Structure 1
Amino acid sequence: MTDETQQRQRWMRALALAETDALAAAWSDWTPKPEVDAIRGPEAGLVMVRSRIDAGGAKFNLGEATVTRATVRLHGEPLGADVLGTSYVLGTDLEHARLAAIFDGLLADAELRGRVLTEVVAPLERSQAERDAARRADAKATLVDFFTVSREHA
């Protein structure tokens, strides 16, 4: 995998896992805003989730998941040329998919990428890391240490 692919996966993960309110706040603060045209969606649908037995064996259908996708075209100031943004988000939040696609489009513009990474993606990643740490702490608080009879009598 190339570095560019890994970078895009990182920022798309941050956008897909973000709270819709956080994306909406970032978009409302963004100036100047380019014009946004919907190319596809946002639209919700189902995808089949597949898995492998023992993570490497035969594939099987695990079940279905709802996914919302959107593709937008951004044009006008501050972009140098038209860009496309696309997103796929678990669930049925149409606005979340639309906003994630908008920021993906802004990230496609080389001149705006640094600003979007600094002002939008980095705060989202920090917020997600804090949420993950809180979830891990909650899970660790419920840890039960089962002891065996042999340890009890040792």
Structure 2
Amino acid sequence: GSRMPYYNFAIRTTKQDDAMLSCCHGRDAMWIDFQAKADVSTELFGAMEDVLKPIGFRKHWAKGLQNTDPSYVVNQFPLIGDFVKLMKMFDPAGKFRNQQGDVWYREITDLLKNREVAKQSNCSIMKAKSRTTDDTCLVEEVEEFNDELVV
């Protein structure tokens, strides 16, 4: 018969740090680390992510990324664009990326391009409405980053 999978989990807290792609970048974090066999956990973990999205959880880069919407992940890391620029500068040929890294690199690059297009579009609209000829445009970020604890 079918049995409920057995899940180990741990809860811990971590102080904020300044690492560019850290789950703790700029905010203290509470971690809930679930460990289970991937083949029986995908549906459960997807449901858990849906529950945790409203509080702005940040995904661990080495845990189940294949189950997560890339745009959600990109929006949770404020310095991801800066990281991609550095990555292009120091590793233009991608020698330090693996297959999974290449997949995420493409996803992140596409999402950042789309974000930039949206910002430029918003800027053009704001300039047209204010009838300004000034080349500067102050547009608030489309993405807001939650200052709550990370789960």
Specify if TM > 0.5. no
The normalised TM-score by structure 1 is 0.33
> Which structure dedicates a bigger proportion of its chain to helix?
1
Q: Greater strand percent: which structure?
A: 1
Q: Give the TM-score taking structure 2 as reference length.
A: 0.33
Q: Is the radius of gyration larger for structure 1 or structure 2?
A: 1
Of structures 1 and 2, the one with the larger relative CO (CA 8 A, separation 6+) is 2
